[in-house]
Amino acid sequence: MAISKENPVYAGDANVPGDIQADLAKPIVESIIKNYDGTPRADGLVPRSVLEGDLEFIVPAWDFSQQYTETIRVGWRPEGAPFHAVGAPYDFVPPIAPGDKTLVVPMAELRHGNYELSYEKTIRGINPLESLKTKVRIDRESPNDGQQPLSMIFPDELNGVVSEQYLIDNGEVRVRVPRYVGAEGRDRAIYYWTNTESPLESEPPVNEQEFSQYDVDNNLMYVRYDEADIRSWGTGTRYAYYRLRDLAGNLNAVRSSLSSIRVDLTPLPGGLLPPRIPLSSRGLIDREHAREGASGQGGVTVEIDAYDDPEDTQFILVDWDGTKLSPHPVDISQWPQQIYVPWSTLTAKGLGPLTVQVDYIVQAGGAFTPPSGPATAPVDFTIAGQDHANAPALLNTTLVKLEVWGLHSNILNTLTALDENEDATVKIALFDDPKPGETIYVFWGAVSGAVADYTVKVGDTAGQVIPFTIPWDVIAQDKNNRALPVYYLTDNGVNQQQARVTDVDVSIVLLAGLMEPEFPDANLNGYLNCCSVPRLWQGITVHVPGTADGNPHLAGGDVIELTWQGSRGLNGTDPIPGVTDVFSRTLSDNEARDGFDVVVLPYDRLIEPMVHNDSGVAQYRLLKANGGVGRSRSPFVKITRQMPGDVICGPDNDLCPPEG
């Protein structure tokens, strides 16, 4: 401010300097810590070391009075507070020596905090002028509020072990100092490395690391242990710790908690050959391979050949196309190491088809080798139909069971003697999402190979019922099996799925011991001729014996189906097409006991075609009311309608004497 014109001492006094300015130069505190560019820190931080005495500062030289004593008072107050004089005033009596003046802030005033330093100049005690202010920061508190810092954090990639290979690859170990209270740029960590859990206070540090403001702001405060520092302490459990010192020089009285790490300078295994993936003769990994192995291993395997420096304490970690397998303990007595790949890993990227890449590393303690070279293998686990929870098992219980139907019995999953000599039908509801070209194969009992198949066509849909014909010659191979296993496979050309077995009740064994039908009107030579009584054109009688005659199995309510077949040969050979019929009768109790007759007619269709030395064959089938079936033998009767002179008899040409 300007000198007051109302002051009588100064008003018009030629001895009072006329160029006094309100803004005197700010005091200079040379002990304020400098920035990297050499300029003083804006906050005025001074080192802890200068606080052991009065704080010196410089008042730049001013235009000294040569007549009057000039007084300087030191102003020291918390930042933002009004001027507060400290210490004794400084009187400068003329003649005042030229040059800057060194003053002090008393040590008693140097308490922790942010201050403003200025000075006030008066001449003869009037019209005080205050200088510009200089910020001064007094820091008497150590980092982290003086509390014990947290332990340092080793990199996750070490897995608790500093290995020989890690030091070879990296040359150092970078360890992070956790964020702490009051952290600032240019703080320092003084860090140590030792082999004891109770290090002495006299333990020499490895080094110290200054942190930038960027490091602090981004929690990237790291110290670096050079490989030489680590190697010098050898193998074993080692401990890292640190102390904090801020820029002012305040040092933590308490070291950090210890961080333990194991150092293993044993050379890592080497010479890792690519893994081997055995394949079956099919040349790929399919579901059969996943179930049985390439050659009986019982699953998909990876084989690891011997490498350098193996130990029983090591583990092999296989990477199957991006999925890590469980660690495999090394057995140095067994090479190659055989490692199984679980189904969940095999299908981690889907059912395929795809080509997988496989490699591995070896874990020695907490250290890991670089990966081996890769091996590849084709994989295809796709299927025809829906998948199931027990994959890769062949049996898929979600596939519907097939149905078996006999031609005549028409009972679900049952074949009876009614179905003898007839093909059977298998019905299968088509699986989910059928694709053209996929195939269903049906297997019947102990018959080798599929007995029927179906290839999916364009337009086929899930649930569509597909019929299959099972030939009689297949069925005839096992006609008496109360639980004949019948099932089917789905096949997409790579993998198969098996449906559950349907147990089929097959009972096509005929009742034994039925008596032959008889021709009671045949002569002693077994002929029926023009003179037979009754005449041929009146019908041919066939008698079925009853139980009273010794014919077993017949009972009231049973059905007899008698078949007549005309033939050209004398012994029932050479059947004549169309000269056949079936005569069916439901037996009464009397007929079952006493037997009964069947008269073969009409003459023109069933008898007349036989002329000279021909024959007729009769056979009956017993259909029991309880489901049993029997079949008689097939006797024949000789038939001739030719008389001497090649005359043929018939209803219009009876050549024999009248009956009776």
Query: For residue range 178-210, what is the model confidence (pLDDT) as tens digits?
Result: 999 999 999 999 999 999 999 999 999 999 999
Beta bridge partners of 323: 320
H or E segment at 128?
A: strand 126-130
Residue 208 lies in a domain: yes
Residue 659 located in a structural domain: no
- 250, 255, 260, 264 alpha-carbon torsion, rounded to 10°: 60
b vs e for 367-386, b when ≥16 Cβ sit within 10 Å of the residue's Cβ? bbbeebeebebbbbbbbbbe
Residue 417, SS3?
A: helix
What is the pLDDT at residue 11? 31
- Which band of pLDDT confidence, cut at 50, 70 and 90, is reported for residue 659? low
Point out which residues pair with 276 in neighbouring strands. Answer: 303
> What value does the mean pLDDT of the chain take?
93
The model's pTM: 0.56
Tell me: cis bond preceding 94? Omega within 30 of 0 counts.
Answer: no
Report the pLDDT averaged over residues 639-647: 91
CA 69 to chain centre: 93
pLDDT of 2 higher than 60: no
200: in domain: yes
64 token code pair: 């000294």
Among candidate residues 140, 157, 176, the one where a domain is terminated: 140
Rounded mean pLDDT, 557-576: 95
* Host domain of residue 494: 403-507
Give domain status of residue 272, yes or no: no
pLDDT of residue 19 exceeding 70, the answer is no
Final residue belonging to a domain, choices 110, 140, 170: 140
Query: CATH no. for residue 468?
Result: 2.60.40.10
> Do 102 and 20 lie in a common domain?
yes
Residues 255-304: tens digit of each pLDDT: 999 999 999 888 889 999 999 999 999 999 999 999 999 999 999 999 99
Q: How far apart are CA 62 and CA 405, in angstroms?
A: 125
615 and 631 housed in the same domain: yes
User: Over the stretch 50-107, which tens digit does the pLDDT of each residue have?
Assistant: 999 999 999 999 988 888 999 999 999 999 999 999 999 999 999 999 999 999 999 9
Q: In terms of domains, do 203 and 245 share one?
A: yes
Question: H helices within 150-202, ranges in order?
Answer: 164-170
- Please state, for a pLDDT cut of 70, what percent of the chain lies above it: 96
Determine the pLDDT at residue 644: 87
- Domain containing residue 557: CATH number: 2.60.40
| Judgement on whether residues 366 and 421 belong to the same structural domain of the protein | no
Whether the pLDDT of residue 161 is over 70: the answer is: yes
Q: Are 357 and 378 in contact (CB under 8 A)?
A: no
CA distances from 370 to 273, 308, 324 (A): 12, 13, 15
Q: Within this chain, do residues 151 and 87 fall inside the same structural domain, yes or no?
A: no
* Half-sphere exposure of residue 128: CA atoms within 13 angstroms, side-chain side: 14
Same domain, 2 and 134: yes
Is 148 in the same domain as 132?
no
pLDDT digits (tens, 9 = 90+) for 105-128: 999 999 999 999 999 999 987 889
Q: Give the pLDDT mean for 369-391.
A: 96
Instruction: Please indicate, yes or no, if residue 572 is contained in any of the structural domains.
Output: yes
Q: Are residues 541 and 564 in the same domain?
A: yes
205-228: average pLDDT? 97
Shared domain for 563 and 495, answered yes or no, is no
Give residue-wise pLDDT tens across range 622-637.
Answer: 988 877 788 999 999 9
Output the six-digit token pair for 275. 């893994």
pLDDT of residue 268: 84
pLDDT tens digits, residue range 393-435?
999 999 999 999 999 888 999 998 889 899 999 999 999 999 9
Read off the pLDDT of residues 319-374 as tens digits, 9 standing for 90 and up.
Answer: 999 999 999 999 999 999 999 999 999 999 999 999 999 999 999 877 788 999 99
CA distance 323 to 360: 11
Q: Is residue 362 part of a domain?
A: yes
Domain total in the chain = 5
Domain identity same for 158 and 94: no
Residue 26: CB atoms within 10 Å: 18
HSE-CB of 343 using CA atoms within 13 angstroms:
15
More confident residue, 512 or 316: 316
How much helix, strand and coil, in percent to the nearest 5, is found in the chain? 10, 35, 55
In a domain, 393, yes or no: no
Alpha-carbon gap, residue 396 to 498, rounded angstroms: 6
Instruction: Please tell me whether residues 351 and 442 are part of one structural domain.
Output: no
Residues 119 and 158 in one domain: no
Asked if 94 and 68 touch (Cβ cutoff 8 Å), the reply is yes
Within a domain: 270? no
